[in-house]
Amino acid sequence: MIHNVLVVAAAALPARAGERRLIGLPPPAASAAPWVVRLEALPGRLAATLARLMRSAGGSARPAPGRALVLGGDEAAFRLFLDRAGRRHEGREAAAEVGEAMARWQERPRSLGLARGVLPLGRTLVMGVLNVTPDSFSDGGRYKSPRAAVGHALRMADEGADLIDVGGESTRPGARPVRLQEELRRVLPVLEALVPALRARGTGRGANGRGGLGRPLVSIDTTKSEVARRAADAGADLVNDVSGMTFDPAMPAAVAESGLPVVIQHIRGTPRTMRKAARYTRLLPEIAAFLRRRIEAALRAGVREDRIVIDPGIGFGKRRRDSLAVIRHLHVLRSLGRPILVGASRKSFLGAEEELPPDERLEASLAAEALAIAGGADIIRAHDVKQAVRAARLCDAALRVAAARP
């Protein structure tokens, strides 16, 4: 999208000026509108035209920082605005983007395309973390051997994990890159043992929640295209790239060739530099713009849109206040129309005030995961699978059932 359109429901609009800056909004108007839509990168003449059309439709239009325009109104006003703007040459493209973003915001994705079949998204899915590294921030060194790794993965399957995310390179703040051969040495033996073990057992909570497979899907957490290719050959079902497919230019083509779905995550900097890179002017619009650019790169490479998941990258190039703000305003990213994955489990921002070690952040992890689900997360990535599954089921009972009622 040229104008990085973001939709916010009025009930979720923050009143404080600092909070509104995070999502690129001006100070509040005297009266609130049921729908608020933000567009950016607008030339002055186009912004004036769109503002005039929105006001004539019975809505409101206000300038915002970043050459942006914030439109407000009820559904009738937006329908009339979209009709009128769509008839004008200079407003047609922007109107189409607004209409698409509103439609995407209102209708959550119902499934994720797989290489074979689909993964239904009728409930929140839980991705269990399996680090086969010596230096991950939470559980590094515990599951270095294939036997230990597979044993832990099977326990997570029994606890209800829908996906198992296997990673052979630590992405904790300050971590140094791992060479290709070393990462392959870590992950391939685990995948080669885990995939058949899961297929043989068919364990877990029902085949219907797992694309009809009756087992958790296996994800490979990597930024390297060759690791992704070899993992796909070993039976991996999904690629999870914390760089948004930016660290390795060959990654989009590798994912497209494999036919696997991919998680595109936002990051600023690299794991080694991201603490220093955590500076934003308008947090959510900048995250959304990055994700949209990477979605477009994936589509150009041949990745199908129904096989793309987005992740705002909690803690990846974000200060504590940034990560908390992403959780508060996660619903804004529904404008992109793709399933949302959130990985907050045991991260440092959860224990910052008490300086809690990772293994004492369970309660905070569950709270963050529940808030993310309320904000629209479709998948949560968790170390403590049993507890995360229980929290997700309660959230779904309160939120998804209510949303489905007329």
What is the C-alpha to C-alpha distance for residues 168 and 182, in angstroms, rounded to an integer? 8
**Which 3 state secondary structure label does DSSP give 179?**
coil
Q: Is 381 a catalytic residue?
A: yes
Choose, from 318, 346, 347, 361, the residue flagged as catalytic: 347
Q: Which helix (H) or strand (E) segment is 394 a member of?
A: helix 385-404
Q: Is there a contact between 77 and 141 (Cβ–Cβ < 8 Å)?
A: no
How many angstroms separate the Cα of 398 from the Cα of each of 10, 86, 109, 315?
A: 21, 39, 19, 28
Q: Is 84 a catalytic residue?
A: no
Two structure tokens written together for 378? 């479709």
Question: 208: burial class by Cβ within 10 Å (0-12, 13-18, 19+)?
Answer: exposed
Integer distance in angstroms from the first to the last C-alpha of the chain?
32
How many angstroms separate the Cα of 83 from the Cα of each of 8, 54, 77, 266?
A: 21, 11, 10, 34
Distance, C-alpha 308 to centroid of its chain: 10
Q: Under 8 Å CB-to-CB from 225, ≥6 apart: which residues?
A: 248, 250, 251, 253, 254
Indicate which residues carry an active-site annotation.
347, 381
